[in-house]
Amino acid sequence: MARRVSNPPNPWESTHVEWLGEPPLARLEVYEEEARTVLSRNESPDIPFRYSVNPYRGCQHACAYCYARPSHQYLGFGAGTDFEKRIVVKTNAAECLARELAKRSWRGEPITFSGNTDCYQPLEASYALTQACLEVCRQRRNPVAVITKSSLVLRDLDLLTSLARAADVRVFVSVPFADASDCRALEPGAPVPAKRFETLRALAAAGIRTGVAVAPLIPGLNEAQVPEILERAAAAGAKSAFLVLLRLAAEVEPVFRERLETSLPARARHVFSALDDVRRGQARPWNFGTRMHGRGPRWESVKRLFELHARRLGLATREGEDTLRPMTPEVERPAHGQGLLFGGDA
């Protein structure tokens, strides 16, 4: 059971913890809980990893399209602003992970940080739970992949490079927009694109294998930005890229629609028309193996655009190219989804 914290950690009490950008508009409420486990097992063929660690529930990045929003309802919270301002912190995440990785049954499979909400959202600056979990992985020589929008990951650069010497480490920075105004409209709590490319550059310079996630691809909004995103990512040292089509769960669609109509009203109708086109009338497809992909000429055109520019820039997008070999080849991986994390088809 999560308990509310009367006074959340104050980021201004330290000389090295501060907001990376503008502070959120909504008043933050923090709830702490002691988790029974933090290692989540995935069975979906759409997701390329089997195990993930999520130290936080909810996310201050406040991305309007976030697929994790419905999970907040399991806590008795809402999928809208509750998801952005009522954050649950698993205070014993590192202890749980250490216990789980010490089991004789653990095979040393890659762990993804995070499969749900961003493991480097602003509260991580105060709680350092992701940092502590990565230290557990370093001690156990366990390979990891990190997916984030935040430049806070650079705080742990020394730890990541040390882990990379002991095991395999990959960091993917999610950059769905090259345009800062589109980013601010739909990702108000996340760093602007320029900051994310700087993050990629610093990671690559330190010898960390990096990639860019064009996720989500929002038809009618960011299709034309794909070449620029890939260009800037490659220039920053990224070696791979993947593309994921927007999928709106029932609870996410009204949040996304309201934000889009409020912030980008002239483009809202076109976006939903384009989404309907690539989804063939199914804005919320549920079929495993296909729900992350579109259909029809428009989607095929986007895929060709992505593949053409990725190939031109030398960015790996499928198994067998450069950095895409699985970190533990003896373990079978799902064949669908964002396959370039650990191998498989993108």
Q: What is the pLDDT of residue 49?
A: 72
Query: Residue 63: what pLDDT?
Result: 97
pLDDT of amino acid 65:
96
CA 316 to chain centre: 19
Which helix (H) or strand (E) segment is 138 a member of? Answer: helix 129-140
What is the residue extent of each domain of the chain? Answer: 28-341
Q: List Cα–Cα distances, 8 to 79, 128, 132, 329, in angstroms.
A: 21, 14, 19, 43
For residues 134 and 143, what is the distance between their CA atoms, to the nearest angstrom? 10
Q: What is the pLDDT of residue 114?
A: 84
Tokens of 170: 């990959």
pLDDT of residue 330: 41
Question: What is the pLDDT tens value at each position of the chain, 346 positions in all?
Answer: 576 665 555 444 444 444 455 555 557 999 999 999 999 887 765 566 789 999 999 999 999 999 999 999 988 999 999 999 999 999 999 999 999 999 999 999 999 998 789 999 999 999 999 999 999 999 999 999 999 999 999 999 999 999 999 999 999 999 999 999 999 999 999 999 999 999 999 999 999 999 999 999 999 999 999 999 999 999 999 999 999 999 898 899 999 999 999 999 999 999 999 999 998 766 555 554 555 678 899 999 999 999 999 999 999 996 434 433 335 434 333 333 444 554 433 3
pLDDT for 279 equals 85
Whether CATH 3.40.470.10 fits 28-341: no
Residue pLDDT, tens place only, 73-84: 988 999 999 999
> According to the model, what pLDDT value does residue 343 have?
44
User: Which tokens go with 245?
Assistant: 């089509």
Distance, in Å, from the CA atom of 187 to the CA atom of 189, rounded to the nearest integer, reads 6
Contact 277, 298 (CB under 8 A): yes
In 3-state terms the chain splits into helix, strand, coil percentages (rounded to 5) of: 40, 15, 45
